[in-house]
Amino acid sequence: MLIKRPKGWELPEASATSENVYHERRRILKAMAGAGLIGSTSLLGLPRRLSAEDAAPGDALYPAARNDRYQVTRPLTDERLVTTYNNFYEFGSHKEIHKAAQKLKTSPWRVTIDGMVEKPLEFDIEELLARVPLEERLYRLRCVEAWSMVIPWTGFPMKELVKLAAPLSSAQYVVMQTFEDKAVAPGQKQFWYPWPYTEGLTIAEATNDLAFLATGLYGRPMPKQNGAPLRLVTPWKYGFKSAKSLVRFTFTDKRPVTFWEALAASEYGFWANVNPEVPHPRWSQATERDVGSGERIPTQIYNGYGEFVADLYQDMPGEKLFT
Ligand code: MTE
């Protein structure tokens, strides 16, 4: 399939990462970790990195090699738009949040895995990055507000995190939480929102090939406004499922009430799969505005990813799969 890339983004041939260089960088990072060169031991048994306050976590790992299984037919959205046209209610509901989000400190960044797992874990983001295979994927992002983008994410398949967590067979969902810190995130002082931002997937969704934990975009570590240092990306669902700046993954047998569901369940449900034929109660979902070109284009069921995910939703009568 054709991939068009706008001139601004494509890496010059010379700076593209070959497989060899990529694996060599990972080997060095792991060796440094093993030799204790980057800090003290943590619960995972891996060393904790002592990093400069503003160094982006794992920045030596970028850019990662692209996984060509995930193709797009629209041009990538300009990087400037991807990093300025954001939703991040922790920092406000205006379109200047990319500036406000710079207050977020992403190093050190602790991630907790708990709940129905063999053994709860807590680790620094760098330790996680040393244990998972980073790759680049081009995905469409469809927001429930009926706009869309095409974004080159860097990250790793969420199934890798599930593997690390070793959930008990009784676990059915994984619940994700964003950081909570009113001192840096003024939106969290707005008591009418059910902070922290919480999202959830079934284990089957979380281990689907498409479910991705993104740590970067455009071949670089994740900008803060896009959810550094770790965010969910589920491209077949509306964008609000893709929770940003995650600190906790809790495995459970109870379906969580998610952030937006708690606020307006009839508008933003648990499943939130994209479907042009199921309108939002206040607007149509039949088309979307491509933020890059400004054009209105038809929306596709599961945002065009049905071949990967439609099977997940067979025989689920009574579930509002598309809200
Ligand atoms: N995650 C958190 N923690 N807070 C938010 O406000 N907004 C969601 C989602 N993840 C949001 C969030 C919404 S509504 C969308 S459309 C996407 O992030 C937007 O991601 P982007 O800003 O990287 O385009």
pLDDT tens-place string over residues 69-91: 999 999 999 999 999 999 999 99
To test the pocket of ligand 1, the residue of 77, 86, 88 to mutate (highest count of ligand atoms within 8 Å of its CB) is 88
Decide whether any atom of ligand 1 lies within 6 Å of the 137 Cβ.
no
CATH topology of domain 8-313: Sulfite Oxidase; Chain A, domain 2 (3.90.420)
Closest ligand 1 atom to the C-alpha of 144? 16
Determine the pLDDT at residue 170.
Answer: 98
3 state SS of 98: helix
* Cα(95) to centroid(ligand 1), Å: 12
Q: Is the CB of 178 under 6 A from ligand 1?
A: yes
Condensed to tens digits (0 to 9), the pLDDT of residues 203-226 reads: 999 999 999 999 999 999 999 999
Ligand 1 and 226: CB distance under 6 A = yes
Give ∠ CA 62-67-69 in degrees, rounded to 5: 160
Q: Which atom of ligand 1 is nearest to the CA of 82?
A: 24
Question: 234: Cβ below 6 Å to ligand 1?
Answer: no
Tokens of 87: 């939703």
Residue 240: phi, psi to the nearest 5? -70, -15
Along the 323 residues of the chain, how does pLDDT read in single tens digits?
122 333 222 233 333 344 444 455 455 445 444 443 333 333 333 333 333 445 687 888 999 999 999 999 999 999 999 999 999 999 998 878 999 999 999 999 999 999 999 999 999 999 999 999 999 999 999 999 999 999 999 999 999 999 999 999 999 999 999 999 999 999 999 999 999 999 999 999 999 999 999 999 999 999 999 999 999 999 999 999 999 999 999 999 999 999 999 999 999 999 999 999 999 999 999 999 999 999 999 999 999 999 999 999 999 999 999 99
Ligand 1 atom closest to Cα of 226?
Answer: 23
Nearest-CA residue for ligand 1 atom 21 is 86
Angle, vertex CA 251, rays to CA 159 and CA 58, nearest 5: 50
Mutate to test the pocket of ligand 1, among 87, 143, 218 (most ligand atoms within 8 A of CB): 87
Q: Is the CB of 86 under 6 A from ligand 1?
A: yes
Q: Is 206 in contact with 162 (CB distance < 8 Å)? A: yes
Ligand 1 centroid to 42 CA: how many Å?
Answer: 30
What separation in Å is there between the alpha carbon of 227 and the centre of ligand 1?
A: 8
Buried b (16+ CB within 10 A) or exposed e, 163-192: ebbebeeebebbbbbbbeeeebbebbeeee
Count of CB atoms within 10 A of residue 309's CB?
21
| Minimum CA distance residue for ligand 1 atom 24 | 86
Q: What is the pLDDT of residue 95?
A: 77
Q: Is the CB of 218 under 6 A from ligand 1?
A: no
Task: Determine if ligand 1 sits within 6 Å of the CB of residue 242.
Answer: yes
Closest residue to atom 11 of ligand 1, CA basis: 88
Task: State the pLDDT at residue 23.
Answer: 53
Please indicate whether residue 288, judged by its CB atom, sits closer than 6 Å to ligand 1.
Answer: no
In this predicted structure, what is the pLDDT of residue 58? Answer: 83
Residue with CA nearest ligand 1 atom 22: 86
Instruction: List helix spans (H) across 193-287.
Output: 203-206, 259-264
Kindly list the distances between the CA atom of residue 117 and the CA atoms of 112, 176, 246, 302, in Å, as whole numbers in the listed order. 12, 14, 18, 30
Backbone phi, psi, residue 129, to 5°: -65, -30
Closest-lying ligand 1 atom to the alpha carbon of residue 88: 6
